Amino acid sequence: MSAETDTQTTTVYRVTGMTCGHCEGAVTTELSALPGVSSVKAVAATGEVTVVSAAPLAEDDVRAAVDEAGYEFAGQAG
């Protein structure tokens, strides 16, 4: 699921393997380092990660960041 405004894009991704706050933090840290990302909210209970960025992100970049954090990228939610 992705929504665009005049200045930002909000996209919700599915990430598997997150079980706690530490997991959420690891995913948030890696995704926050991507160029153009202004906000990340990871929720282990739902496996959803909401990313706000200046422009849509390349899926390969998101997948690489999630992999770097140690979790599995499962695509966009929705």
Phi, then psi, of 11 in degrees rounded to 5: -130, 140
pLDDT tens digits along 23-58? 999 999 999 999 999 999 999 999 999 999 999 999
Quickly state the pLDDT bin for 4 (edges 50, 70, 90): low
| % of the chain residues with pLDDT over 90 | 90
Number of domains the chain is built from: 1
Task: Give kind and range of the element (H or E) at residue 73.
Answer: strand 72-76
Exposed / middle / buried, residue 57 (Cβ in 10 Å: 0-12, 13-18, 19+): buried
- The pTM score is 0.91
Output the domain CATH number for residue 56: 3.30.70.100
Domain assignment of residue 9, given as a range: 2-76
pLDDT over 80 at 3, yes or no: no
What is the arithmetic mean of pLDDT over 4-27? 92
